Structure 1
Amino acid sequence: MSARHFLSMMDYTPAELVGVIRRGVELKDLRNRGVLFEPLRGRILAMIFEKSSTRTRVSFETGMIQLGGQAIFLSPRDTQLGRGEPIADGARVMSRMVDAVMIRTFAHSNLIEFATHSRVPVINGLSDDLHPCQLLADMQTFLEHRGSIQGKTVAWIGDGNNMCNSYIEAAIQFDFQLRVACPEGYEPSAQFLALAGDRVTLTRDPYEAVEGAHLISTDVWTSMGQEEEAAKRLALFKPFQVNREMLDRAATDVLFMHCLPAHRGEEISVDLLDDPRSVAWDQAENRLHAQKALLEFLVAPAYTPA
């Protein structure tokens, strides 16, 4: 039987995704109650980082340790993948030695090629196209605070980047309406928009996007690898800053999320993370719990999500 991977939100059924995030809530409760739970004892996760990260590394490494396993950190200097060895060969070798592989990379095609030749599950820790692990955490956070997101309205404000693409996939899988407000030329990928159909609405007006929304989310305006565009983006995206006034236009029970790190005074106002409607710190913590549920689902054969 071939390994199951998690490269995209579309790799699982809606029921499986809901099961994973509900399991994340359960694992969080076990941890908070001090219950030792180690279903991955003796298992090893290899973590390949072509892009640096704080939350991704800490959450996956901590998660594996808490589940009884171990994690190996591999930077570009620690592997042959970026120095001439074909990705397929690296996948064949590494997947004979470890129980799962998490990759944080630039080109999404690298993930697909690695997964195609891997014997073990491969997890997308972020690519230029998608960031599905963050969406698991976001959906768990909304569930904890407001219940099911089905039928709700979500607003994405800013760059149509990998996070926005993953929100489009989440809108399909979790059955909510998504409004995307972005400058012209910075729309999310056309392939994801086509997949979503009328579930996603594009607008140039961020205030229109947030009207009555139950969740508002954003990200930095300049992602890793786009540093040369920083000045241009700063000027172009200025009208898309999320602030308290914008949240006031949303539903009375709106939540604000940011995948972090945040640039206060740019994509968000300086005070926004201190607003009681912001759940960014819970959201960040839930990377740990949602990914533990994902690891359990992929690596522990005895577990099947409800």
Structure 2
Amino acid sequence: QNKVQLKGCDLLTLKNFTGEEIKYMLWLSADLKFRIKQKGEYLPFIARKSLGMIFEKKIPEQIVYRTGKSTAKFTLCGGFVCLTTTKKKNHFLLGHVLSSMTDAVLARVYKQSDLDTLAKEASIPIINGLSDLYHPIQILADYLTLQEHYSSLKGLTLSWIGDGNNILHSIMMSAAKFGMHLQAATPKGYEPDPSVTKLAEQYAKENGTKLLLTNDPLEAAHGGNVLITDTWISMGQEEEKKKRLQAFQGYQVTMKTAKVAASDWTFLHCLPRKPEEVDDEVFYSPRSLVFPEAENRKWTIMAVMVSLLTDYSPQLQKPKF
């Protein structure tokens, strides 16, 4: 098994990583979950390391809920976390200052370009906690959840039903690298970014996978192994709420949606969920993997930090992706 070396890298988008490198992060996630959760080991891989966290957006309860629980595991490996918020976007100064004070930075920002600038000016690993264009750490948690459930990712068909947002973009930048097919339905006017689509088409061609983009939710769900949706109204889009709710009529994931999916269908949602996005029957069904998915955020973000800051090699046997 050839060792993948990610120490010192940034995680800005999965576009920058090969399939083997993403698989390595998932393998490391499974390894840490097994050693810490199942075996009860204490693994101070990042002792005396510090993580800076930047929130350019306001910090509502859901951010504390989502990001706080994910980064809490950083301390379990011996590190410590410092938190800051910023409204003034001077990423040149931030990059230099934080490089002298912390060992890595996780940032949730509005613009991907600001994150790119931060990474360019910093001399430490920068992790994309969320931007307008990508949300890579969420997709790693999704893939680990599917790996655990299906034992292999290759050949799965992912059915996205919702907004053409940062999570869909991250799936588009990575699914084909695992041999997964993607069928995505978005309302007219809410399609994924054209530059992301162009690259996703290239990945699908290179890996022999199917990429379907449609405005019909049932067409996207047809034969899908995994039904996936997300919030229709992200932070910063509150003023668009009425318009978006009208545009997304018919996009709620229900058992009617599941009827056209594959017989082994499952459901993912990165939370917090609203009833108009998915009804209770699907959300709380035995097919719903949302709670394992939520837990796996902490194992995958922990693996990202360990992989970017250390030379650790997983001890657990490599999964069959």
TM-score, normalised to structure 2, is 0.89
Correspondence list, 1:232-243, <5 A: 232-243=243-254
What is the CA-CA distance between 1:61 and the residue it aligns to?
A: 2.8
Pairing 1:174–2:178 present: yes
Distance 1:55 1:297 in 2: 24
Correspondence list, 1:159-238, <5 A: 159-197=163-201, 199-238=210-249
Aligned to 2:13: 8
Correspondence list, 1:1-306, <5 A: 3-32=8-37, 33-51=39-57, 52=59, 53-76=63-86, 82-83=87-88, 86-197=90-201, 199-264=210-275, 266-300=276-310, 302-304=311-313
Distance 1:91 1:37 in 2: 29
TM-score, normalised to structure 1, is 0.93
Deviations 1:61-85 (A, max 9, x none): 3121111100111122xxxxx337x
What is the CA-CA distance between 1:272 and the residue it aligns to?
A: 2.3
- Contact kept in structure 1, 2:70 and 2:299, CA below 8 Å: no
- Contact kept in structure 2, 1:13 and 1:173, CA below 8 Å: yes
What is the CA-CA distance between 1:263 and the residue it aligns to?
A: 0.4
Deviations 1:68-116 (A, max 9, x none): 100111122xxxxx337x3112101111111000000111111000000
Distance 1:173 1:110 in 2: 27
What is the CA-CA distance between 1:196 and the residue it aligns to?
A: 1.3
What is the CA-CA distance between 1:55 and the residue it aligns to?
A: 4.3
Structure 2 letter corresponding to 1:39: F
Distance 2:211 2:13 in 1: 18
Distance 2:125 2:69 in 1: 18
Distance 1:271 1:151 in 2: 27
What is the CA-CA distance between 1:270 and the residue it aligns to?
A: 2.9
What is the CA-CA distance between 1:56 and the residue it aligns to?
A: 4.0
Identify the range of structure 1 (254-263 vs 171-180) with the bigger mean alpha-carbon deviation.
171-180
What is the CA-CA distance between 1:34 and the residue it aligns to?
A: 1.6
What is the CA-CA distance between 1:304 and the residue it aligns to?
A: 4.7
Residue 60 and residue 98 in structure 1: after superposition, are their counterparts in 2 closer, same or farther (change >3 A)? farther
SS at the partner of 1:217? Answer: strand
Deviations 1:209-245 (A, max 9, x none): 1111111100111111111110111122020100122
Residue 4 and residue 200 in structure 1: after superposition, are their counterparts in 2 closer, same or farther (change >3 A)? same
Distance 1:299 1:4 in 2: 9
- Contact kept in structure 2, 1:9 and 1:132, CA below 8 Å: yes
What is the CA-CA distance between 1:257 and the residue it aligns to?
A: 0.2
Distance 1:294 1:136 in 2: 9
- Contact kept in structure 1, 2:108 and 2:128, CA below 8 Å: yes
Structure 1 letter corresponding to 2:312: Y
SS at the partner of 2:212? Answer: strand
Distance 1:54 1:146 in 2: 31
Q: How many residues are aligned here?
A: 298
Deviations 1:33-73 (A, max 9, x none): 32111100100000111233134422343121111100111
Identify the range of structure 1 (110-119 vs 266-275) with the bigger mean alpha-carbon deviation.
266-275
Question: RMSD of the alignment, in Å?
Answer: 1.7
Aligned to 2:207: none
SS at the partner of 1:240? Answer: coil
Distance 1:125 1:236 in 2: 28
What is the CA-CA distance between 1:2 and the residue it aligns to?
A: 9.6
Structure 1 letter corresponding to 2:254: N
What is the CA-CA distance between 1:152 and the residue it aligns to?
A: 1.6
Distance 1:214 1:158 in 2: 16
Identity across the alignment (%): 36
Distance 1:213 1:2 in 2: 36
- Contact kept in structure 1, 2:71 and 2:298, CA below 8 Å: no
